Amino acid sequence: MAESHRDWLERMDAESRAKQEAFMNGIAAKLRRPRAVQAPEHPFRGAPDFWNGFEWPLEERIRKFMENFQAVGGHVARLPDLQAVRAFIADKAAEMNAKYVIRQNVAELDALELESALPEGARVSVWNRGEGEHWKARAAEADFGVVVADYAAAYTGSVTVLSAKDKGRSVSLLPTVLIAIIPVERLKTRLGEILKDFDRAGRENLPAGIHFISGPSRSSDIENDLTIGVHGPGIVYALLVG
């Protein structure tokens, strides 16, 4: 009698499970230890109390953030105020011959007045300010993307940028160079301190996107060959202000 489709599926499933068993048993034998066949117990959930209470003082947070961000290829500068930020961006634009800058549509960046600070011939676009623009395309063309960080975590050297109507994610993801401005009061010790705010806000109030940026874009997808700048900016500056 011809094998039915159901019988064939059951036979293939049994053969597959047998191969999996043989494969896992072979690994256990090579490791010279019994194979675990039951899931381990997890009596604790979440971070332990000592970690939830762990916090560095401000100067230590700044030092650790700088060390960790630089360790993954990012650049960090500590600046006293927004006037110094304005001068820093203008100097980098001149140094790198940047002709086009796109920035978030937020009050802190309005105050920088980058349009008058950049070298002659450079222009600035403000995300979502103006009709008829293809903003993703504008971001992809930009030499610099300028954002204000919503948070940063010293322990991991990570910058957190939220996306919204006036804070398009493309501003931090598509330009060649990203400049992230971090007010020091937004610098936390742990990522867990940042995530708590999202828990408190509830699902209905979450932003459109939450992006954790730890240095320039890095990828080893192809032949395990580390490449910088494939999936995002290849150069990232974190400017700690205050």
Please name each of the domains of the chain with its CATH number.
Answer: 57-241 (3.40.50.10420)
* Residue ranges of E strands in the chain: 75-79, 100-103, 123-126, 144-148, 151-153, 158-163, 177-183, 187-188, 209-213, 218-219, 227-228, 235-241
pLDDT in tens, 75-131: 999 999 999 999 999 999 999 999 999 999 999 999 999 999 999 999 999 999 988
- Evaluate if residue 1 carries a pLDDT over 60: no
Candidate ranges 9-18, 180-189, 195-204; pick with highest mean pLDDT = 180-189
pTM for this prediction: 0.80
- Give, in order, the Cα–Cα distances in Å from 224 to each of 218, 220, 221, 234: 11, 5, 6, 18
- Round to whole Å and give the CA distance between 106 and 213: 19
Could you tell me whether strands 218-219 and 227-228 are parallel, antiparallel, or unpaired per DSSP bridges?
A: antiparallel
- Evaluate if residue 229 carries a pLDDT over 80: no
